[in-house]
C-alpha cells in the first residue's frame, strides 16, 4: 500500500508495479526433519538417482544453498508452477561467484538419493547460511527497488536519496518498506549493498531477478550482504536455467 505522503507519485509508482513472491525463512528446530523435496535453505537436496551429486572445481561436494519447490509457491507469471530449482555453491570458494551450480528438475521422480553421509559438518563452516531453514511463500506487490537499475523514477526532480532528506524518520521508514527491495524473494526488484551489476553490462540489461537471499538472523553474505540469482526472461519462460548467474555483495 502506497503511504499517504507518496500519493502524489501514485501514477508513477503504478507504472513500476510488479508481483513477486516473498519468502519467510525460519530455522528448523532440532525435532524437525524436512523432506527431500521440500523448499529449504541449506539441508539435503532432492536428487534423482540418475544424477551425480554436484562437485566444485577442486572435486569437493558442493552444498545446497537453496531449494525451491515451485509446487509450494504461489504462481508468478513466467516462473515455473512446478518442478524443483536448486542452487549449489562451493563450500570454500563461493565468494568468487564462479563456482556454483543451478539445477532444475521439471519432474519429481519417485526414486531419489537419500544417503548424503558424505556431506560432513566441515563443508558448512564457511556457508553464508548458518543452519537449515524451512520456507513459506506469499505473493506481494512491489512498486520499485531503489538499488535496482530498472527503477529510474524521480520524485519531483529529486533522486530517491535526495527526496528522503526532506522526510521525517517515520516517513523514511515507510518509503523504504515499499521501495528498498530487501528480503528473501522470488522475482521482483533486486537489492544491492553496492550497485547493480546489470547497469554496467549491456548483455545483462534484460536480466531479471530469479531468487534473492538476504541477510537474516542466521544468514549473512560477507558483512550484511545479499545474494542474487538472475536470468534472461526468455530462458525463464522456457525453464532453461543453464545461463542463470550468481552475484553477491556486502557493505
What is the grid cell recorded at 139?
505473493
3-state secondary structure 77-141: CCCCCCCEEEEEECCCCHHHCCCEEEEEECCCCCCECCCCCCCCHHHHCCCCECCCEEEEEEEEE
- Provide the residue range defining the domain that includes 72: 4-249
Per-position pLDDT tens, the chain of length 251: 899 999 999 999 999 999 999 999 999 999 999 999 999 999 999 999 999 999 999 999 999 999 999 999 999 999 999 999 999 999 999 999 999 999 999 999 999 999 999 999 999 999 999 999 999 999 999 999 999 999 999 999 999 999 999 999 999 999 999 999 999 999 999 999 999 999 999 989 999 999 999 999 999 999 999 999 999 999 999 999 999 999 999 98
- Indicate the DSSP class of residue 38: S
**Could you tell me where the DSSP H helices lie in the chain?**
10-15, 160-164, 169-179, 233-237
Nearest-angstrom CA–CA distance, 11 and 251: 33
What is the grid cell recorded at 185?
524473494
Considering the entire predicted model, what is its pTM? 0.96
CATH number at residue 186: 2.30.320.10
Query: From its phi and psi, is residue 144 left (phi > 0), alpha (psi between -120 and 50) or beta?
Result: left
Number of structural domains the chain divides into: 1
Amino acid at each position: 500500500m502506497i503511504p499517504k505522503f507518496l500519493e502524489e507519485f501514485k501514477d508513477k509508482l503504478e507504472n513500476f508495479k510488479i508481483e513477486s513472491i516473498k519468502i519467510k525463512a525460519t530455522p528448523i528446530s532440532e525435532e524437525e526433519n524436512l523432506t527431500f523435496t521440500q523448499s529449504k535453505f541449506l539441508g539435503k537436496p532432492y536428487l534423482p538417482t540418475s544424477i551425480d551429486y554436484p562437485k566444485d572445481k577442486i572435486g569437493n561436494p558442493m552444498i545446497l544453498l537453496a531449494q525451491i519447490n515451485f509446487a509450494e509457491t504461489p504462481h508468478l507469471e513466467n516462473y515455473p508452477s512446478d518442478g524443483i530449482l536448486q542452487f549449489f555453491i562451493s563450500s570454500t570458494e563461493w565468494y568468487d561467484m564462479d563456482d556454483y551450480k543451478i539445477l532444475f528438475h521439471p519432474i519429481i521422480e519417485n526414486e531419489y538419493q537419500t544417503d548424503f553421509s558424505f556431506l560432513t559438518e566441515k563443508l558448512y563452516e564457511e556457508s553464508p547460511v548458518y543452519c537449515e531453514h524451512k520456507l513459506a511463500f506469499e505473493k506481494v506487490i512491489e512498486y520499485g527497488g531503489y538499488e535496482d537499475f530498472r527503477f529510474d523514477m524521480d520524485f519531483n526532480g529529486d533522486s530517491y536519496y535526495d527526496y528522503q532528506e526532506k522526510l521525517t524518520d517515520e516517513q523514511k521508514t515507510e518509503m523504504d518498506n515499499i521501495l528498498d527491495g530487501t528480503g528473501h524473494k522470488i522475482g521482483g526488484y533486486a537489492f544491492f549493498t553496492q550497485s547493480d551489476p546489470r547497469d554496467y553490462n549491456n548483455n545483462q540489461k534484460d536480466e531479471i531477478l530469479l531468487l534473492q537471499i538476504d541477510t537474516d538472523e542466521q544468514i549473512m553474505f560477507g558483512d550484511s550482504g545479499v545474494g542474487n540469482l538472475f536470468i534472461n526472461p526468455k530462458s525463464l519462460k522456457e525453464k532453461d536455467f543453464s545461463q542463470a548467474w550468481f552475484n553477491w555483495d556486502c557493505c
